[in-house]
Structure 1
């Protein structure tokens, strides 16, 4: 197979890597069809290597859109049933339609299309609420990620079923972005970073098409958390700054508080104690200024409160090695968590156990670790990882003691049940 030199040169001319070209092709497909593409870096590698010599369908459309030229100029063989070239002006006008795009009808129009209205939006919002509730209960599960991604596709497919006002279409895109952001969060929580990045890219595209600042905040704030978990503090701060720069953080102190609290956690992961403490103080002040009766998105009301702020502080101070302060925020978090926050309770409990252990309080630490609900201790990837780290540290700090043996027996029996 011969390398496609023409395509390689075009990519060099535009300064595109394989990943970046895949992302640009997906964005082009979203603009053309109203649905996100599924082009991957592997697709691009096959195009470059010559493994794919005659791209068809969506891949062909995406390539021509990104590079603004026909396939033959990109080193590919002409399609035998190629359609006449599209007028560039018409193509630009089509793309500029933005959120007004809808999927093409599969057949001739026999009757006036039905209207997509608020009832469809309300149905999507109810299903989104179900996804959020599942996340708070279980967290990180592949099934939640897959269901949320499928619902995002279902929301986009709604665009082809009838006519709608610009406002309704924007809400459909916002719903699709919300589902995809939940898929992203499930992947983050499940330590599936590569999948999370893929969901993030699609979610960002959909959010831009919706124009909804609330879902934009959620996605960029999640992106900051993703990069923090990946150990990329600079990228985490940059992503979170995008969220914090949105106008809603200036009009609603609760959003400002969340942005600051997550920034404090980023500072903690980066080892900056002073910046972390300052950001948490500012987050606390903003929360106290927030109007408790203000209208906010369901997802925001469902999780962000004093307990979540303390959870982020617990994470930051644990990373900073300030174990006493971490434990303080951990106990305050656990005391304030709402009943439905089962995933958050398991994570906070595991972190409190670690903070206690690092202070030499071995017996309370083991008691805390053993109080993590078994379903979370064996099913939630982050909790499993925390408890395994706890186990390793315990066996270093209290080797051959009775309490360590008690823990080891408990851990063996617990994790053996899912081995």
Structure 2
């Protein structure tokens, strides 16, 4: 019995613990109507080689999570009874995710193909709207990433087993691209950058087939954010420029504003204060020129507004070391952020604490940091990292001083009683 070193390596690249991989696989199983029965022990059996060939449903879920054939995860097939008809349909839907972009899994010649229409697209979008709400509340959880990937598979399954006109086919590709883009963002938010890169590559391919400029903008804009969080500003600027140069950004000032705002956040990493100020000015002007009544995708309406612009400006100024301006943007963002945007509020609050700390306002900084909800700080990888960075910076400034002691006691109490 040999260890499955390939699966171990792929888990490390994706940032999965045994418990997190079990959660991701179970989320995909549940999204397909099955029970989520995978546990830590199940994953341990995969890693130790005790289970060399998982159950077919688990194999399909693993393929959805890692976006590759299960044989590329170190599993070795053995002879087993053929799947039932219903399981075969599910397996075909999953495998389509890993086929080449131009290949469709057709139904067998003797199977009737049903007509796919815009009502099917609307049904998918209704599920997507629920996922968007969950994303804004909880952020980069594996369950959100897996659910988004499963929705993309559902959209592609309709392409594979049904007949549709060109308009519907483009809409289905756009749905699949949009859902994969949400999986990309969840992976970015969860600091699973290797997985995020694979989601980006898949989403970009699907978006190109859709011909839909709004989703192409979203994906390339997300790519810019991915590289920004990876501290690769040159790649981030190049990716975000792809988004900013699309026709939709020239036609709709709202898209132009988002493109400029994210560009400013990236420019902050380069230390170019003049470019940051200019780009934030362009973002503000474009947002003021936009028509709020214009029809836009739900993902745009769900998050981008003046509060988000100030939040990105806060990130830009924080990177520059302009802590006074950063604090001003932080207060403006918190005054405007919508109640349901819990993740955004927590991220902005954490950044505000860093801006106050940068100005030597230790008491205010600690109070601000402690106002981040404990459950959010504990469960959201990005915010957890920001809180750790805050504590380290406070320790350098205050060492064993009273503010560091207050913060240390707070962290200790929170770890003992996270609720």
Aligned counterpart in structure 2 of residue 108 of structure 1, from 110, 131, 140: 110
Structure 2 contact 180–203 (Cα < 8 Å) conserved: yes
* Deviation for aligned residue 1:397: 1.1
Q: Which residue matches 1:174? A: 174
Q: What RMSD in Å do the two structures reach over aligned CA positions?
A: 2.8
Give the distance between the partners of 2:227 and 2:158, measured in 1 at CA. 32
Q: Secondary structure at the match of 2:114?
A: coil
Structure 2 contact 66–195 (Cα < 8 Å) conserved: no
Q: Secondary structure at the match of 2:182?
A: helix
Q: Which residue matches 1:154? A: 154
- TM-score norm. by structure 1 comes to 0.76
Give the distance between the partners of 2:126 and 2:236, measured in 1 at CA. 31
Alpha-carbon spacing, 1:269–1:258, altered in 2? closer, same or farther (3 Å): same
Give the distance between the partners of 2:397 and 2:134, measured in 1 at CA. 37
Q: Which residue matches 1:254? A: 254
Q: Secondary structure at the match of 1:292?
A: coil
* Deviation for aligned residue 1:103: 2.2
Q: Which residue matches 1:88? A: none
* Deviation for aligned residue 1:36: 13
Give the distance between the partners of 1:417 and 1:226, measured in 2 at CA. 33
Q: Which residue matches 2:338? A: 338
* Deviation for aligned residue 1:264: 0.7
Give the distance between the partners of 2:256 and 2:382, measured in 1 at CA. 27
* Deviation for aligned residue 1:128: 1.0
Q: Superposition pairs for residues 16-415 of structure 1, below 5 Å?
A: 38-39=67-68, 102-109=104-111, 111=112, 113-415=113-415
Give the distance between the partners of 2:267 and 2:160, measured in 1 at CA. 45
Structure 1 contact 36–202 (Cα < 8 Å) conserved: no
Structure 2 contact 189–381 (Cα < 8 Å) conserved: yes
* Deviation for aligned residue 1:142: 1.1
* Deviation for aligned residue 1:256: 0.4
* Deviation for aligned residue 1:399: 2.2
Give the distance between the partners of 1:339 and 1:305, measured in 2 at CA. 13
Give the distance between the partners of 2:269 and 2:145, measured in 1 at CA. 26
- Structure 1 stretch displaced more, 390-399 or 349-358: 390-399
Q: Secondary structure at the match of 1:293?
A: coil
Deviations 1:315-343 (A, max 9, x none): 01001000000000000000000011100
* Deviation for aligned residue 1:43: 5.1
* Deviation for aligned residue 1:417: 4.3
Larger Rg: 1
* Deviation for aligned residue 1:401: 2.3
Q: Which residue matches 1:74? A: none
Gaps of 5+ in 2: 1-63, 77-91
Gaps of 5+ in 1: 1-34, 52-57, 67-94
Structure 1 contact 217–244 (Cα < 8 Å) conserved: yes
* Deviation for aligned residue 1:114: 2.2
Deviations 1:101-132 (A, max 9, x none): 642113514x5x32111211111101111111
Number of residues of Structure 1 aligned to a counterpart in Structure 2: 338
Structure 1 contact 137–341 (Cα < 8 Å) conserved: yes
* Deviation for aligned residue 1:262: 0.6
Deviations 1:276-329 (A, max 9, x none): 111000110111111111111010011001000000000010010000000000
Give the distance between the partners of 2:193 and 2:415, measured in 1 at CA. 24
Q: Secondary structure at the match of 1:153?
A: helix
* Deviation for aligned residue 1:245: 0.9
Alpha-carbon spacing, 1:415–1:271, altered in 2? closer, same or farther (3 Å): farther
Give the distance between the partners of 2:375 and 2:68, measured in 1 at CA. 36
Alpha-carbon spacing, 1:310–1:164, altered in 2? closer, same or farther (3 Å): same
* Deviation for aligned residue 1:154: 1.2
